[in-house]
Amino acid sequence: MEALAGSRIYFPCIKPPTMKHNFRRQQRVMITRASIAVEQKNPESKVALVRIGTRGRMPFQIKLEINVIPRNTNCSRDLIDSPLALAQAYETRSKLIAAHEELAEEGAIEIVIIKTTGDKILTQPLADIGGKGLFTKEIDEALLNNDIDIAVHSMKDVPTYLPDKIVLPCNLEREDVRDAFISTTATSLADLPAGSVVGTASLRRKSQLLHRYPSLEVLDNFRGNVQTRLKKLNEGLVQATLLALAGLKRLNMTENVSSVLSIDDMLPAVAQGAIGIACLNHDEKMANYLASLNHEETRLAVACERAFLETLDGSCRTPIAGYACRDENGDCFFRGLVASTDGKKVIETSRRGSYAFDDMVAMGRDAGKELLSKAGPGFFDPR
């Protein structure tokens, strides 16, 4: 394991964009495209072989099956409070059907919508209402109560500890880890005039943004699903916002992106762009299903990053970023940082070593210990 010095380091895992993409400046972002709808499950359908739990809010407390609607269909997504979570559940279902013939039959897979604390309370910052477990606690309870068979999570929402009897053996192949800049008036952060307001609920984004652009202002309780945030942007509440590019890709909404931030400009959240799937530790049938979906390179990268986060005891209350990937030589390259919430102090480190589970977990932990030592007492205290 090799520690690397320096404040700005080129990431071999992210190729420089060719810029031949559809990301463009727009006067108004699009928020009406519908790609997901829900319908009540036929009561005469046979018992599902796999019940997939995911977060969301629905107008009725019912179990639902998710159906994809073609992109150009005139169908509203207003019924769904977490379309991204549902898109990830549907992606999981598609992969299960592709890998297992018996799951292709109608009714073999059921998707169960579960209202989480994080989906219920939208008026307060996440840091004020309990941190990351807000989006997983109720889903974990459903799994433990045998109301669902597997649980689909955005890995960046999952606490570094798991409840007893629950394991997370599967990560789907990771999407693009970078953050997207979206604005109706500018093509990049550098184009925003001094005093412009950027909306974000992420302390990680806020601290890095203010570190590089101290003349900007941040509205830091900018919460809601992607559609809600874009609506607030259109209404002029803020001049710009930052969102995970992975989520926009999964929702087929990249036409809203003004530009993509480089890893150097905005180090991503731990496990950003990764989907994790959990099951009970004694459920061999589900474990076998999930083994067929697991993307090992992603699983190892996420393990490295989460070891870093766990060492720092990180949550939504602390600005922490970390990213591990395979470099051109097949080794693991990891970079992490911690920051003060006002962005005035950012501490970074990096590691390079073998792309193997034990070595990568050790790298993440070692990097976390280094930053704890450099930060010193009180660094993570609320300001």
Residue by residue, pLDDT tens for the chain (383 residues) are: 655 544 344 445 554 444 444 554 455 554 433 233 333 455 555 678 999 999 875 433 333 333 332 332 222 233 345 789 999 999 999 999 999 999 999 999 999 999 876 555 555 455 544 555 667 889 999 999 999 999 999 999 899 989 999 999 999 999 999 999 999 999 999 999 999 999 998 999 999 999 999 999 999 888 788 888 999 999 999 999 999 999 999 999 999 999 999 999 999 999 999 999 999 999 999 999 999 999 999 999 999 999 999 999 865 468 999 999 999 999 999 999 999 999 999 999 999 999 999 999 999 999 999 999 999 887 876 65
Specify whether the backbone of 312 is left (phi greater than 0), alpha (psi in -120 to 50) or beta. alpha
Does any domain span residue 250?
yes
Please tell me the predicted confidence (pLDDT) of residue 1.
63
Within a 10 A sphere around the Cβ of 47, how many other Cβ atoms?
Answer: 8
Q: 333 CB contacts (<8 Å, ≥6 apart)? A: 11, 12, 13, 324, 325, 326, 327, 350, 351, 352
Task: Judge if 183 and 168 occupy the same domain.
Answer: no
Q: What is the CATH number of the domain that holds 222?
A: 3.40.190.10
Both ends of the chain: CA-CA distance in Å?
A: 35
Task: Judge if 199 and 251 occupy the same domain.
Answer: yes
| Maximum Cα–Cα distance across the chain | 63
| Residue 304: domain span | 295-375
Which one is catalytic: 81, 149, 157, 331? 157
Whole-angstrom Cα distance, residue 42 to residue 57? 20
Count of domains forming the chain: 3
Please give the C-alpha separations between residue 91 and each of 113, 226, 321, in angstroms, as whole numbers: 15, 18, 26
Whole-angstrom Cα distance, residue 319 to residue 309? 11
Task: Judge if 99 and 167 occupy the same domain.
Answer: yes
Q: Which of 21, 91, 9 is nearest to 323 (CA)?
A: 9
Does any domain span residue 56?
yes
Look up 191 and say whether it is catalytic.
Answer: no
Task: Judge if 184 and 290 occupy the same domain.
Answer: no
Task: Judge if 52 and 152 occupy the same domain.
Answer: yes
Does any domain span residue 317?
yes
Q: 181 is written with which tokens?
A: 């800049």
Across the chain, mean pLDDT equals 83
- CA angle, corner 350, sides to 11 and 308, nearest 5? 115
Does any domain span residue 127?
yes
